[in-house]
Amino acid sequence: MLRPFGMLAELTYACPLHCPYCSNPLNLADYSDELTTAEWQRVFAEARDLGVLQLHLSGGEPLLRRDLVELVARAHELGMYTNLITSGIGLTQRRAEQLRAAGLDHVQISIQADESALSDLIAGTPSFERKIEAARLVKELGWPLTLNVVLHRYNIDRIDRILDLAESLGADRIELANTQYYGWAWRNRAALLPSKAQLDRAESIVRAARERLEGQMEIIYVIPDYYSQYPKPCMGGWGQRQLTVIPNGDVLPCPAAHLLPLPRASVREHPLSWIWEESPLFQRFRGTEWMPEPCRSCERRTVDFGGCRCQAFLLTGDAARTDPVCHLSPDHWLVAEAVRRANEGKPTVLGNPIPRTFRMRRGAA
Amino acid sequence: MSGEVSLAKRPRLARQARLLWDPVRERHVLLAPEGMLLLNDTGAAIVGLCDGNRTIAEIIEELHRRYNRVVAEEVQHFVARLVAKRWMEIGNA
Protein backbone atom coordinates (compact mmCIF):
# COMPACT_ATOMS: atom_id res chain seq x y z
CA MET A 1 0.00 0.00 0.00
CA LEU A 2 1.03 3.57 -0.75
CA ARG A 3 1.78 5.32 2.53
CA PRO A 4 2.29 9.03 3.24
CA PHE A 5 5.58 10.09 4.83
CA GLY A 6 4.81 13.67 5.69
CA MET A 7 1.84 15.70 6.82
CA LEU A 8 1.49 19.46 6.78
CA ALA A 9 -0.89 20.56 9.53
CA GLU A 10 -2.06 24.11 8.89
CA LEU A 11 -3.34 24.70 12.40
CA THR A 12 -4.84 28.14 11.84
CA TYR A 13 -4.94 30.76 9.11
CA ALA A 14 -4.79 33.55 11.67
CA CYS A 15 -1.44 35.36 11.40
CA PRO A 16 0.09 38.57 12.71
CA LEU A 17 1.86 39.11 9.36
CA HIS A 18 0.38 40.31 6.08
CA CYS A 19 2.87 39.05 3.52
CA PRO A 20 1.64 39.60 -0.03
CA TYR A 21 3.30 36.34 -1.18
CA CYS A 22 1.29 34.16 1.20
CA SER A 23 -0.06 30.99 -0.39
CA ASN A 24 -3.00 30.71 2.01
CA PRO A 25 -6.46 31.04 0.44
CA LEU A 26 -7.98 34.47 -0.20
CA ASN A 27 -11.20 33.63 1.63
CA LEU A 28 -9.48 33.09 5.00
CA ALA A 29 -12.62 33.72 7.00
CA ASP A 30 -14.19 30.56 5.51
CA TYR A 31 -11.68 28.47 7.45
CA SER A 32 -12.11 29.91 10.94
CA ASP A 33 -14.07 26.92 12.26
CA GLU A 34 -10.83 25.32 13.41
CA LEU A 35 -10.32 21.77 14.58
CA THR A 36 -10.23 21.45 18.37
CA THR A 37 -7.24 20.16 20.33
CA ALA A 38 -8.83 16.71 20.61
CA GLU A 39 -9.64 16.62 16.89
CA TRP A 40 -6.06 17.49 15.91
CA GLN A 41 -4.69 14.91 18.32
CA ARG A 42 -6.95 12.26 16.81
CA VAL A 43 -5.84 13.27 13.32
CA PHE A 44 -2.18 12.95 14.36
CA ALA A 45 -2.80 9.44 15.68
CA GLU A 46 -4.60 8.47 12.47
CA ALA A 47 -1.76 9.96 10.46
CA ARG A 48 0.84 7.96 12.38
CA ASP A 49 -1.16 4.75 11.79
CA LEU A 50 -1.21 5.59 8.12
CA GLY A 51 2.59 5.94 8.07
CA VAL A 52 3.23 9.66 8.57
CA LEU A 53 6.66 10.16 10.15
CA GLN A 54 7.17 13.86 9.74
CA LEU A 55 4.71 16.44 10.97
CA HIS A 56 5.06 20.04 9.82
CA LEU A 57 3.10 22.43 12.01
CA SER A 58 2.30 25.56 10.11
CA GLY A 59 -0.49 28.04 9.34
CA GLY A 60 -1.06 30.99 9.34
CA GLU A 61 0.90 31.33 12.52
CA PRO A 62 0.81 28.08 14.51
CA LEU A 63 1.94 29.85 17.70
CA LEU A 64 -1.48 31.54 17.76
CA ARG A 65 -2.94 28.15 18.70
CA ARG A 66 -2.90 28.23 22.47
CA ASP A 67 -2.78 24.43 22.51
CA LEU A 68 0.36 24.17 20.39
CA VAL A 69 2.41 22.61 23.21
CA GLU A 70 -0.23 19.92 23.76
CA LEU A 71 -0.35 19.22 20.04
CA VAL A 72 3.44 18.88 19.80
CA ALA A 73 3.52 16.64 22.87
CA ARG A 74 0.96 14.28 21.32
CA ALA A 75 2.79 14.10 18.00
CA HIS A 76 6.09 13.44 19.78
CA GLU A 77 4.49 10.72 21.89
CA LEU A 78 3.25 9.10 18.68
CA GLY A 79 6.83 8.96 17.43
CA MET A 80 6.65 11.64 14.77
CA TYR A 81 9.42 14.09 13.91
CA THR A 82 7.90 17.50 14.57
CA ASN A 83 8.82 20.66 12.70
CA LEU A 84 7.44 24.10 13.57
CA ILE A 85 7.16 26.56 10.69
CA THR A 86 6.66 29.98 12.22
CA SER A 87 7.03 33.73 11.79
CA GLY A 88 8.75 33.68 15.18
CA ILE A 89 6.17 36.12 16.54
CA GLY A 90 4.93 34.74 19.83
CA LEU A 91 7.93 32.50 20.46
CA THR A 92 8.65 33.73 23.96
CA GLN A 93 11.32 32.16 26.17
CA ARG A 94 8.60 30.40 28.18
CA ARG A 95 6.72 29.09 25.15
CA ALA A 96 9.96 27.94 23.53
CA GLU A 97 11.02 26.05 26.65
CA GLN A 98 7.62 24.36 26.85
CA LEU A 99 7.84 23.32 23.20
CA ARG A 100 11.36 22.01 23.73
CA ALA A 101 10.15 19.96 26.71
CA ALA A 102 7.20 18.67 24.66
CA GLY A 103 9.66 17.20 22.17
CA LEU A 104 9.60 19.66 19.28
CA ASP A 105 12.45 18.59 17.00
CA HIS A 106 13.03 21.52 14.70
CA VAL A 107 12.10 25.15 14.14
CA GLN A 108 11.91 27.11 10.91
CA ILE A 109 11.60 30.88 11.23
CA SER A 110 10.61 33.09 8.33
CA ILE A 111 12.36 36.36 7.64
CA GLN A 112 11.30 38.71 4.90
CA ALA A 113 14.62 40.54 4.36
CA ASP A 114 17.99 41.19 6.03
CA GLU A 115 16.96 44.36 7.85
CA SER A 116 13.92 45.74 9.60
CA ALA A 117 12.68 48.46 7.24
CA LEU A 118 12.16 46.21 4.24
CA SER A 119 11.29 43.10 6.28
CA ASP A 120 8.58 45.01 8.16
CA LEU A 121 7.28 46.58 4.96
CA ILE A 122 6.88 43.17 3.33
CA ALA A 123 5.42 41.61 6.47
CA GLY A 124 3.05 44.55 6.81
CA THR A 125 3.83 44.90 10.50
CA PRO A 126 6.83 45.59 12.73
CA SER A 127 8.23 42.11 13.26
CA PHE A 128 11.88 41.87 12.18
CA GLU A 129 13.47 42.50 15.58
CA ARG A 130 11.24 39.92 17.24
CA LYS A 131 12.08 37.39 14.53
CA ILE A 132 15.78 37.86 15.17
CA GLU A 133 15.22 37.42 18.91
CA ALA A 134 13.24 34.26 18.22
CA ALA A 135 16.03 32.92 15.99
CA ARG A 136 18.59 33.52 18.77
CA LEU A 137 16.32 31.80 21.26
CA VAL A 138 16.04 28.75 19.01
CA LYS A 139 19.82 28.45 18.94
CA GLU A 140 20.16 29.05 22.69
CA LEU A 141 17.77 26.22 23.44
CA GLY A 142 19.84 23.88 21.29
CA TRP A 143 17.46 23.42 18.39
CA PRO A 144 18.78 23.34 14.88
CA LEU A 145 17.75 26.60 13.21
CA THR A 146 16.37 26.90 9.72
CA LEU A 147 15.60 30.31 8.27
CA ASN A 148 12.92 30.46 5.60
CA VAL A 149 13.01 33.27 3.10
CA VAL A 150 10.46 33.62 0.34
CA LEU A 151 12.13 35.42 -2.54
CA HIS A 152 10.50 37.88 -4.92
CA ARG A 153 11.22 41.04 -6.86
CA TYR A 154 11.59 43.16 -3.72
CA ASN A 155 14.08 41.14 -1.71
CA ILE A 156 15.95 38.89 -4.14
CA ASP A 157 18.62 41.55 -4.78
CA ARG A 158 19.50 41.43 -1.09
CA ILE A 159 20.19 37.72 -1.10
CA ASP A 160 23.88 38.24 -0.24
CA ARG A 161 22.97 40.25 2.85
CA ILE A 162 20.28 37.74 3.79
CA LEU A 163 22.93 35.00 3.67
CA ASP A 164 25.26 37.12 5.83
CA LEU A 165 22.49 37.54 8.38
CA ALA A 166 21.83 33.79 8.42
CA GLU A 167 25.51 33.15 8.95
CA SER A 168 25.75 35.64 11.80
CA LEU A 169 22.73 34.02 13.48
CA GLY A 170 24.45 30.63 13.25
CA ALA A 171 21.62 29.14 11.17
CA ASP A 172 22.09 25.47 10.32
CA ARG A 173 20.00 25.75 7.18
CA ILE A 174 18.50 28.45 5.07
CA GLU A 175 15.73 27.88 2.59
CA LEU A 176 15.70 30.52 -0.10
CA ALA A 177 12.53 29.71 -1.96
CA ASN A 178 11.22 31.77 -4.79
CA THR A 179 7.56 32.63 -4.46
CA GLN A 180 5.09 30.04 -5.65
CA TYR A 181 2.08 31.67 -7.19
CA TYR A 182 -0.94 30.52 -5.22
CA GLY A 183 -3.40 32.36 -2.98
CA TRP A 184 -2.25 35.91 -2.25
CA ALA A 185 0.91 35.45 -4.29
CA TRP A 186 -1.20 34.59 -7.34
CA ARG A 187 -3.14 37.80 -6.86
CA ASN A 188 0.15 39.75 -6.55
CA ARG A 189 2.06 37.89 -9.23
CA ALA A 190 2.77 40.86 -11.47
CA ALA A 191 4.34 42.73 -8.57
CA LEU A 192 6.33 39.78 -7.21
CA LEU A 193 7.79 37.90 -10.18
CA PRO A 194 11.50 38.77 -10.46
CA SER A 195 13.36 39.41 -13.70
CA LYS A 196 15.82 37.04 -15.32
CA ALA A 197 18.69 39.38 -14.47
CA GLN A 198 17.70 39.34 -10.79
CA LEU A 199 17.56 35.54 -10.80
CA ASP A 200 20.90 35.12 -12.54
CA ARG A 201 22.59 37.33 -9.99
CA ALA A 202 20.91 35.53 -7.08
CA GLU A 203 21.94 32.14 -8.41
CA SER A 204 25.58 33.11 -8.74
CA ILE A 205 25.58 34.46 -5.17
CA VAL A 206 24.03 31.21 -3.93
CA ARG A 207 26.66 29.15 -5.76
CA ALA A 208 29.49 31.11 -4.18
CA ALA A 209 27.91 30.99 -0.71
CA ARG A 210 27.42 27.23 -0.95
CA GLU A 211 31.10 26.79 -1.61
CA ARG A 212 32.15 29.14 1.15
CA LEU A 213 29.77 27.74 3.77
CA GLU A 214 30.03 24.04 2.98
CA GLY A 215 29.79 21.96 6.13
CA GLN A 216 28.63 24.98 8.13
CA MET A 217 25.27 26.02 6.72
CA GLU A 218 23.09 24.14 4.30
CA ILE A 219 21.67 26.39 1.59
CA ILE A 220 18.53 25.29 -0.16
CA TYR A 221 17.61 27.38 -3.15
CA VAL A 222 14.30 26.83 -4.90
CA ILE A 223 14.13 28.36 -8.37
CA PRO A 224 10.88 29.95 -9.51
CA ASP A 225 9.19 27.36 -11.66
CA TYR A 226 8.02 30.05 -14.09
CA TYR A 227 11.64 30.21 -15.28
CA SER A 228 12.30 26.50 -15.53
CA GLN A 229 11.86 24.25 -18.50
CA TYR A 230 9.98 21.52 -16.66
CA PRO A 231 7.43 21.77 -13.87
CA LYS A 232 8.14 20.95 -10.25
CA PRO A 233 7.21 17.45 -9.06
CA CYS A 234 4.45 18.90 -6.91
CA MET A 235 4.24 17.08 -3.55
CA GLY A 236 6.16 14.15 -5.07
CA GLY A 237 2.98 13.30 -6.97
CA TRP A 238 -0.68 13.71 -6.07
CA GLY A 239 -1.50 11.52 -3.09
CA GLN A 240 1.86 9.75 -3.23
CA ARG A 241 3.93 10.89 -0.25
CA GLN A 242 2.35 13.87 1.45
CA LEU A 243 -0.93 15.24 2.67
CA THR A 244 -2.11 18.52 4.12
CA VAL A 245 -4.79 19.12 6.72
CA ILE A 246 -6.10 22.69 6.83
CA PRO A 247 -7.61 24.52 9.83
CA ASN A 248 -11.20 23.37 9.29
CA GLY A 249 -10.25 19.70 8.92
CA ASP A 250 -10.31 19.47 5.14
CA VAL A 251 -7.58 17.17 3.82
CA LEU A 252 -5.72 18.13 0.66
CA PRO A 253 -3.16 16.42 -1.56
CA CYS A 254 -1.46 19.81 -2.13
CA PRO A 255 -1.73 22.85 0.19
CA ALA A 256 -3.27 24.91 -2.62
CA ALA A 257 -5.87 22.31 -3.62
CA HIS A 258 -8.76 23.95 -1.78
CA LEU A 259 -9.30 26.01 -4.90
CA LEU A 260 -9.90 23.01 -7.17
CA PRO A 261 -13.49 22.11 -8.09
CA LEU A 262 -13.25 18.67 -6.50
CA PRO A 263 -15.30 16.95 -3.79
CA ARG A 264 -14.14 17.89 -0.28
CA ALA A 265 -12.75 15.39 2.18
CA SER A 266 -12.82 16.27 5.87
CA VAL A 267 -11.48 14.53 8.97
CA ARG A 268 -14.73 15.62 10.60
CA GLU A 269 -16.63 13.29 8.28
CA HIS A 270 -14.22 10.47 7.40
CA PRO A 271 -11.26 8.61 8.83
CA LEU A 272 -7.95 9.86 7.46
CA SER A 273 -7.19 6.40 6.07
CA TRP A 274 -10.35 6.45 3.92
CA ILE A 275 -9.52 9.93 2.69
CA TRP A 276 -5.96 8.92 1.76
CA GLU A 277 -6.81 5.57 0.24
CA GLU A 278 -10.25 5.93 -1.27
CA SER A 279 -11.62 9.46 -1.40
CA PRO A 280 -12.41 10.74 -4.90
CA LEU A 281 -10.25 13.79 -4.08
CA PHE A 282 -7.09 11.75 -3.50
CA GLN A 283 -7.86 9.33 -6.35
CA ARG A 284 -8.47 12.06 -8.89
CA PHE A 285 -4.89 12.72 -10.04
CA ARG A 286 -3.09 9.77 -8.49
CA GLY A 287 -0.69 7.91 -10.77
CA THR A 288 -0.48 8.61 -14.51
CA GLU A 289 -3.90 7.44 -15.84
CA TRP A 290 -5.47 10.90 -15.66
CA MET A 291 -2.76 12.51 -17.72
CA PRO A 292 -3.42 14.30 -21.00
CA GLU A 293 -0.83 14.72 -23.73
CA PRO A 294 1.96 15.79 -23.75
CA CYS A 295 2.40 14.19 -20.28
CA ARG A 296 0.84 10.83 -21.11
CA SER A 297 3.57 9.82 -23.54
CA CYS A 298 6.37 11.81 -21.89
CA GLU A 299 9.37 10.09 -20.33
CA ARG A 300 9.24 12.53 -17.47
CA ARG A 301 5.69 11.66 -16.42
CA THR A 302 7.02 9.76 -13.40
CA VAL A 303 9.64 12.41 -12.69
CA ASP A 304 7.48 15.53 -12.39
CA PHE A 305 4.01 13.92 -12.43
CA GLY A 306 2.65 16.53 -14.82
CA GLY A 307 3.58 19.31 -12.41
CA CYS A 308 1.11 21.03 -10.13
CA ARG A 309 -2.64 20.51 -10.57
CA CYS A 310 -3.43 23.74 -8.76
CA GLN A 311 -1.10 25.73 -10.99
CA ALA A 312 -2.70 24.15 -14.07
CA PHE A 313 -6.10 25.16 -12.74
CA LEU A 314 -5.10 28.72 -11.86
CA LEU A 315 -3.53 29.30 -15.25
CA THR A 316 -5.95 27.45 -17.54
CA GLY A 317 -9.11 26.84 -15.54
CA ASP A 318 -8.62 23.07 -15.97
CA ALA A 319 -6.77 21.12 -13.27
CA ALA A 320 -6.34 18.12 -15.58
CA ARG A 321 -4.08 19.90 -18.06
CA THR A 322 -0.29 19.74 -18.15
CA ASP A 323 1.26 22.33 -15.83
CA PRO A 324 1.77 25.30 -18.19
CA VAL A 325 5.23 25.83 -16.71
CA CYS A 326 6.36 22.89 -18.88
CA HIS A 327 7.78 24.16 -22.17
CA LEU A 328 5.97 21.26 -23.88
CA SER A 329 2.55 22.36 -22.60
CA PRO A 330 0.20 23.83 -25.23
CA ASP A 331 -0.61 26.49 -22.60
CA HIS A 332 3.00 27.45 -21.93
CA TRP A 333 2.46 30.86 -23.55
CA LEU A 334 0.52 31.84 -20.41
CA VAL A 335 3.68 31.49 -18.35
CA ALA A 336 5.92 32.92 -21.06
CA GLU A 337 3.72 36.00 -21.21
CA ALA A 338 3.99 36.60 -17.43
CA VAL A 339 7.76 36.15 -17.64
CA ARG A 340 7.98 38.50 -20.61
CA ARG A 341 6.14 41.19 -18.66
CA ALA A 342 8.41 40.70 -15.64
CA ASN A 343 11.38 41.45 -17.91
CA GLU A 344 10.02 44.50 -19.65
CA GLY A 345 12.46 46.71 -17.84
CA LYS A 346 10.03 47.99 -15.26
CA PRO A 347 12.32 49.47 -12.59
CA THR A 348 12.70 47.37 -9.46
CA VAL A 349 13.50 49.99 -6.87
CA LEU A 350 14.12 48.44 -3.49
CA GLY A 351 11.42 49.22 -1.01
CA ASN A 352 8.76 49.87 -3.61
CA PRO A 353 5.47 49.55 -1.83
CA ILE A 354 3.88 46.20 -2.49
CA PRO A 355 0.22 46.33 -3.46
CA ARG A 356 -1.68 46.42 -0.26
CA THR A 357 -3.71 43.26 -0.59
CA PHE A 358 -3.00 42.03 2.86
CA ARG A 359 -4.51 39.09 4.56
CA MET A 360 -7.73 39.37 6.40
CA ARG A 361 -7.52 38.96 10.11
CA ARG A 362 -9.74 36.46 11.79
CA GLY A 363 -12.05 37.91 14.41
CA ALA A 364 -11.20 37.24 18.05
CA ALA A 365 -11.77 33.56 18.71
CA MET B 1 32.76 15.83 2.72
CA SER B 2 32.25 12.72 0.64
CA GLY B 3 34.36 9.60 0.48
CA GLU B 4 35.10 7.77 3.69
CA VAL B 5 35.33 8.48 7.36
CA SER B 6 38.63 7.32 8.81
CA LEU B 7 38.73 4.42 11.25
CA ALA B 8 39.76 6.51 14.25
CA LYS B 9 36.77 8.89 14.08
CA ARG B 10 33.93 8.74 16.60
CA PRO B 11 30.70 9.62 14.80
CA ARG B 12 27.45 10.44 16.55
CA LEU B 13 23.98 11.36 15.39
CA ALA B 14 23.56 15.12 14.88
CA ARG B 15 21.08 16.73 17.24
CA GLN B 16 18.79 17.53 14.31
CA ALA B 17 18.45 13.84 13.39
CA ARG B 18 16.50 11.12 15.16
CA LEU B 19 16.49 7.33 14.76
CA LEU B 20 13.03 5.82 15.15
CA TRP B 21 11.41 2.43 14.76
CA ASP B 22 8.41 2.71 12.46
CA PRO B 23 5.95 -0.01 13.46
CA VAL B 24 3.80 0.75 10.41
CA ARG B 25 6.54 -0.03 7.88
CA GLU B 26 8.42 -2.33 10.26
CA ARG B 27 11.59 -0.47 9.48
CA HIS B 28 14.02 1.80 11.27
CA VAL B 29 13.99 5.29 9.91
CA LEU B 30 16.37 8.18 10.31
CA LEU B 31 14.54 11.49 10.44
CA ALA B 32 15.87 15.02 9.95
CA PRO B 33 14.40 18.36 8.96
CA GLU B 34 12.65 17.83 5.62
CA GLY B 35 14.31 14.51 5.00
CA MET B 36 14.28 10.88 6.01
CA LEU B 37 16.00 7.62 5.26
CA LEU B 38 14.42 4.21 5.63
CA LEU B 39 17.13 1.91 6.96
CA ASN B 40 17.74 -1.81 6.63
CA ASP B 41 18.85 -3.77 9.71
CA THR B 42 22.55 -3.16 9.12
CA GLY B 43 22.01 0.54 8.49
CA ALA B 44 20.03 0.85 11.71
CA ALA B 45 22.73 -1.09 13.60
CA ILE B 46 25.43 1.27 12.31
CA VAL B 47 23.47 4.38 13.24
CA GLY B 48 22.69 2.88 16.64
CA LEU B 49 26.40 2.23 17.28
CA CYS B 50 27.41 5.77 16.35
CA ASP B 51 27.25 7.11 19.89
CA GLY B 52 30.22 9.48 19.86
CA ASN B 53 32.25 7.05 21.99
CA ARG B 54 32.97 4.20 19.60
CA THR B 55 35.44 4.68 16.78
CA ILE B 56 34.54 3.55 13.27
CA ALA B 57 37.00 0.67 13.78
CA GLU B 58 35.17 -0.41 16.93
CA ILE B 59 31.82 -0.10 15.17
CA ILE B 60 33.04 -2.34 12.36
CA GLU B 61 34.36 -4.86 14.90
CA GLU B 62 30.98 -4.92 16.64
CA LEU B 63 29.18 -5.38 13.31
CA HIS B 64 31.48 -8.36 12.56
CA ARG B 65 30.24 -9.98 15.77
CA ARG B 66 26.60 -9.51 14.70
CA TYR B 67 26.66 -10.12 10.95
CA ASN B 68 28.40 -12.52 8.59
CA ARG B 69 29.29 -10.13 5.86
CA VAL B 70 30.53 -6.67 6.79
CA VAL B 71 32.53 -4.54 4.35
CA ALA B 72 34.50 -1.90 6.20
CA GLU B 73 34.52 0.53 3.25
CA GLU B 74 30.74 0.32 2.96
CA VAL B 75 30.35 1.28 6.60
CA GLN B 76 32.75 4.19 6.11
CA HIS B 77 30.89 5.33 2.99
CA PHE B 78 27.53 5.09 4.71
CA VAL B 79 28.70 7.21 7.65
CA ALA B 80 30.36 9.69 5.27
CA ARG B 81 27.08 10.11 3.41
CA LEU B 82 25.26 10.92 6.65
CA VAL B 83 28.02 13.33 7.69
CA ALA B 84 27.72 15.10 4.33
CA LYS B 85 23.97 15.52 4.96
CA ARG B 86 24.86 16.80 8.47
CA TRP B 87 22.72 14.08 10.00
CA MET B 88 25.85 12.70 11.66
CA GLU B 89 28.70 14.55 13.36
CA ILE B 90 32.29 13.54 13.91
CA GLY B 91 33.88 13.96 17.30
CA ASN B 92 37.67 14.11 17.52
CA ALA B 93 39.68 10.92 17.55
Name chain A contacts of B14, Cβ cutoff 8 Å: 144
ipTM: 0.87
pLDDT-derived band at B70, boundaries 50, 70, 90: confident
pLDDT-derived band at A364, boundaries 50, 70, 90: very low
The span from the CA of A275 to the CA of A345, in Å, is 48
Q: Give residue A347's pLDDT.
A: 53
Would you say the C-alpha torsion A183, A188, A190, A195 has a positive or negative sign?
negative
Q: What percent of chain A has pLDDT over 70?
A: 94
Whose CA is closest to A60, among A16, A104, A98? Answer: A16
Give me chain A's average pLDDT, please: 92
Please tell me which of the candidates B15, B20, B34 has its beta carbon nearest to residue A79. Answer: B20
Q: How close, in Å, is residue B68 to chain A by CA atoms?
A: 31
CB proximity A211 to B under 8 Å:
no
Q: How close, in Å, is residue A51 to chain B by CA atoms?
A: 6
Q: Give residue A357's pLDDT.
A: 42
The strand ranges marked E within A21-144 are 54-58, 81-86, 106-110
> Is B33's CB within 8 Å of A106's CB?
yes
Residue A268 burial (10 A CB sphere; 0-12, 13-18, 19+)? exposed
Q: Give residue B21's pLDDT.
A: 93
Comparing alpha-carbon positions, the chain A residue that sits nearest to B83 is A215
> Is A48's CB within 8 Å of B24's CB?
yes
> Is A144's CB within 8 Å of B29's CB?
no
Please tell me which of the candidates B14, B29, B86 has its beta carbon nearest to residue A53. Answer: B29
> Is A83's CB within 8 Å of B36's CB?
no
Q: What is the mean pLDDT of residues B51-77?
A: 92
A260 pLDDT above the threshold of 50: yes
Q: Give residue A346's pLDDT.
A: 60
Q: Which residues pair with A108 in a beta bridge?
A: A85, A146
Q: How close, in Å, is residue B33 to chain A by CA atoms?
A: 7
Name chain B contacts of A49, Cβ cutoff 8 Å: 24
Q: What is the mean pLDDT of residues A123-148?
A: 95
Please tell me which of the candidates A50, A81, A144 has its beta carbon nearest to residue B31. Answer: A81
Chain B residues whose C-beta is within 8 A of a chain A C-beta are 1, 14-16, 18, 20-22, 24-25, 29, 31-34, 36, 86
Q: Tens digit of pLDDT for each residue in A150-172?
A: 999 999 999 999 999 999 999 99
The span from the CA of A360 to the CA of A228, in Å, is 32
B92 pLDDT above the threshold of 80: no
pLDDT-derived band at A60, boundaries 50, 70, 90: very high
pLDDT-derived band at A305, boundaries 50, 70, 90: very high
Interface test with A, best of B22, B29, B31, B90 (most A CBs within 10 A): B31
Q: Give residue A345's pLDDT.
A: 67
Q: Please check whether residue A264 is in contact with residue A250, taking contact to mean a CB–CB distance below 8 angstroms.
A: yes
Q: How close, in Å, is residue B46 to chain A by CA atoms?
A: 21
> Is A53's CB within 8 Å of B20's CB?
yes
Out of A35-49, A127-141, A177-191, A196-210, least confident range = A177-191
Q: How close, in Å, is residue A146 to chain B by CA atoms?
A: 9
B93 pLDDT above the threshold of 60: no
A351 pLDDT above the threshold of 50: no
> Is B16's CB within 8 Å of A51's CB?
no
The span from the CA of A71 to the CA of A64, in Å, is 13
pLDDT-derived band at A26, boundaries 50, 70, 90: confident
Q: Give residue B86's pLDDT.
A: 86
pLDDT-derived band at A285, boundaries 50, 70, 90: very high
Q: Give residue B34's pLDDT.
A: 73
Name chain B contacts of A144, Cβ cutoff 8 Å: 14-16, 33
Categorise residue A151: left if φ over 0, alpha if ψ from -120 to 50, beta otherwise: beta
Comparing alpha-carbon positions, the chain A residue that sits nearest to B27 is A51
Tell me the pairing of strands B27-32 and B88-91: unpaired
Q: What is the mean pLDDT of residues A267-292?
A: 97
